Each structure stands twice: as C-alpha cells, then as structure tokens.
Amino acid sequence: MTDRPLALSQGDPAGIGPEIALKAWSRREQTGMPPFVYLGDPRILKARAEMLGLDVPVAVSAPEAAVSNFNAFLPVFAIDAATPVSPGKPDPGTAAGTIAAIETGVKLTMRGKTAGLVTNPIAKSVLYSSGFRFPGHTEFLAELARRETGTEYHPVMMLACPALRVVPVTIHIPLADVPGALDRQLIIETIRITARDLARRFGIGSPRLAVAGLNPHAGEQGTIGREDEETVRPALEILRAEGIDVTGPLPADTMFHASARARYDAAICMYHDQALIPVKTLGFEEGVNVTLGLPFVRTSPDHGTAFDIAERGIADPRSLEEALKLAARLTAGSGQRP
C-alpha cells in the first residue's frame, strides 16, 4: 500500500462531487481504490450521505493519517464551506471554499503530504461570478504551482479513455477566437509537452501523435482556410525535425474511427469540442482529464458538476474512480493500465 493518500478536492459542493466521492469510498474494495483524503466541508459530505441514504462514515483526518484511516472512514481535511449548500442550486457564496480546496490540494501535494491531486468538477460560471479569473483548473493549477516554485508552467489538457487520448491546443475560449489564438509556438509547445509527458509519465517511449487540422478537410490545400498550411503544417515540420513523431494536419472527421485510432497514441486537436466530443462519445463513463506539464500529478473526472441530477442519487462514480486510479498509477511512475 502507498504511504501517502491522494488529495481529492470537493469541487462545487452543489454538484455531484460529494456524492461520487462517497460512492467511490463505498466501492473501494471492489474497485481497488487507492486511499484518498477529501478536501472540503465534512458537514456537507455527511449531509449528502444522509440525504442520499449512503451509509458512509465521514471523519476529519490529517493527511498523514488518511491511509491508515481509509478503511475505517472517509477521511476529510476540513475546509469550511461558509454557507449552507443545496444540491443542484449553485451559490457563488461557496466559491471561496471551492477555490481553497484546490489551493490546499496543490500545497499538500507539492509539499509531499499527498501523492497527487484529483479534482472534483467546478462550475466555471459560478467561480467567475465571484471574481475567479482562470478559465478552469488547468490554468489555475499552473499558477498555483508557479506560486510554490517561482517557475512558469505551460499546462496542457489531455482527456483519456481506454479507446482514445485527446489534447486540445486551445481550451476554454469562444469558437470565434480559435483561429486567432492558434499560433505556431502554441502548437509546438503543446505537442512538445504532450510527447514528453506521455514518455515520462505514461511510459510510451516514442509517442505517435496525430494532429487534426482546423478547417474541414484540413483546409484542402489551403482552399478552405489558410491556417492549416500557414500555421499547423510549419509547426509540425519543426517538431519532426526535433524527432517527435507527428502526422498531420489530418482531416478531423476521419481521425477517430477505430482503424484510424490504432495509428496513434494521442490526437492533438485545435479546439475544445474537436477533442472532447470524440473522447466523451467513446468513453464518457470512464474518461479522465489529466493535466500535463505540471510538476505534480493532477487528474479529474471527464464530466462536470451535473447540477441537474445532484439531488437524485443517480450519479455514476466510475469516471472519478478512474481518475483516482490513474493518479495512483501516474504517481507510481506509469499511466498505462496494468
């Protein structure tokens, strides 16, 4: 057994984060769950267990004692939610506690108290309305790491399910802004970090990366948009000269069927939905979001806060369970399935 637990941040407490954490703990023996410590308000977790009829003992624990306590109860590092929480009804009043849980997770992990960080989903709009200025966890975690070390990090989002790994080059920006945001340097840096972390953290020696074009038919030789010829292709030539195994720009519509997927280890995509639609279609229930480029391991379920079902007790915990298990494998040195 590992000597350190994973840190699991609460996410938006009005969403399904508390419920899937309770269920993941309940199913720990059948799923081989690595020990984790929940960062959040224990009163909310207990109330949610009671409301949903989940028989889960919850108690406060220091991270250092969480591994030995894990079989007896769900260990919690207490962070005050400051305001009552109603499942399914997000409240900007909870934003400070949600952010504090993420900050605490980074500190505990970077200071060696926890092995890695798994984040439950946050509702970006709820945090924005209370002044949060980062597009999502991905960018916020890089900033928190910078505050710890003084080094700048370029975070890269990767989503993975058994059938597919995808990396969006641009993430949470309006579709209309994508062409302007794509430049050679961003594509090059994203792919370098992906290749490096797939080798270093996932044990894929020389990863094969397939790169989607931005436009239909990857621009059809520049006749349907110029970006693929003027921005994507030159970036790939530079990467090839460095020895990185990249193919593309490829027409995105024919990259994701089974025989195409067999030809690469990860698909690099130009924008959010180009990447996330195929991975969530092929493996929503077990998909995991991993941040590459950070000095610590961070994973999360692939889904969001699911406010629409937060009162109903029907949330599926498998994506969170896969995120916890992948984080444990990555901290042990290999992201590949055993």
Ligand X SMILES: NCC(=O)COP(=O)(O)O
Task: Flag whether 172 is marked binding.
Answer: yes
Q: Is 165 annotated as a binding residue?
A: no
Tokens standing for 302? 């692939």
Angle between helices 17-26 and 318-331 (to 10 degrees): 70
| Cβ neighbours of residue 223 closer than 8 Å, sequence gap 6 or more | none
Nearer to ligand X, 231 or 300 (CB): 300
**138 interface partner picked from ligand NAI, ligand X, none, CB below 5 to 8 A per type:** ligand X
Residue 110 beta carbon to ligand NAI: minimum distance, rounded to whole angstroms: 20
**How far is it, in rounded angstroms, from Cα 189 to Cα 83?**
41
CB of 164 to ligand X, least distance (A): 15
58, 95, 96, 122: residue in contact with ligand NAI (rule CB under 6 A): 122
Largest CA distance in the chain: 64
Strand order in the sheet with 164-168: 58-60, 74-78, 36-40, 6-9, 117-119, 298-301, 288-292, 156-161, 164-168, 266-269, 208-212, 245-250
Answer yes or no: is 298 a known binding residue.
yes
Task: Tokens for 246, please give them.
Answer: 């990249």
Is 217 one of the binding residues for ligand NAI (CB under 6 A)? Answer: no
Interaction of residue 194 with ligand X, rule CB under 6 A: no
Q: What secondary structure does DSSP assign to 47-77, as a single string? A: HHHHHHT----EEE--HHHHHHHTTTSEEEE
What is the β-pairing status of strands 36-40 and 58-60? unpaired
Map residue 86 onto helix, strand or coil. strand
289 belongs to an annotated ligand binding site = yes
Interacting partner of 315 out of ligand NAI, ligand X, none (Cβ under 5 to 8 A depending on kind): ligand NAI
Picked from ligand NAI, ligand X, none, the partner binding residue 308 (CB below 5 to 8 A depending on kind) is ligand NAI
Q: Which of residues 7-36 bind ligand NAI (CB under 6 A)?
A: 16, 20
| C-alpha to C-alpha distance for 44 and 28, rounded to whole angstroms | 21
* 289 binding ligand X? (CB under 6 A): yes
CB closer to ligand NAI out of 117 and 204: 117
Using CB under 6 A, which residues numbered 131 to 170 contact ligand X? Answer: 136-138
* Residue 326 interacting with ligand NAI (CB under 6 A): no
Residue type, 259: S
Asked whether position 303 contacts ligand X by CB under 6 A, the answer is no
Footprint (CB under 6 A) of ligand NAI, residues 250-309: 289, 300, 303-306, 308-309
Asked whether position 319 contacts ligand X by CB under 6 A, the answer is no
Cβ contact 321:24 at 8 Å? yes
329 binds ligand X (CB under 6 A): no
| Interacting residue ranges for ligand NAI, rule: CB under 6 A | 16, 20, 121-125, 137, 289, 300, 303-306, 308-309, 315-316, 319
| Interacting residue ranges for ligand X, rule: CB under 6 A | 136-138, 276, 289, 300
List the binding residues for substrate. 137-138, 280, 289, 298
